[in-house]
Amino acid sequence: MALYESDFTKFMREFLDKHPEEREQQREGRALWWDKPQDLQTRRDNLDSDVPQKAYPYQTDLNQG
């Protein structure tokens, strides 16, 4: 039984076969935006500094004022 492959997947596979330079551009783009070194202490500090949000932030408190 053959697995389904969408028209878009076929198109992209053929396109990348015809244009191998695109794969290098994909790698460069990923490195530019996503593959960054992570500082775990800064990440922990950011998570610890989060302020809990109310269950329904748009509800007004009628007892104030």
- pLDDT tens by residue, 18-55: 999 999 999 999 988 888 888 999 999 999 999 888 78
> pTM here?
0.47
Beta-carbon neighbour count of residue 16 at 10 Å?
A: 13
pLDDT for 63 equals 66
Asked whether the predicted pLDDT for residue 8 surpasses 80, the reply is yes
Residue 36: its pLDDT value, please?
84
Classify the C-alpha dihedral 34-40-41-46 as positive or negative.
positive
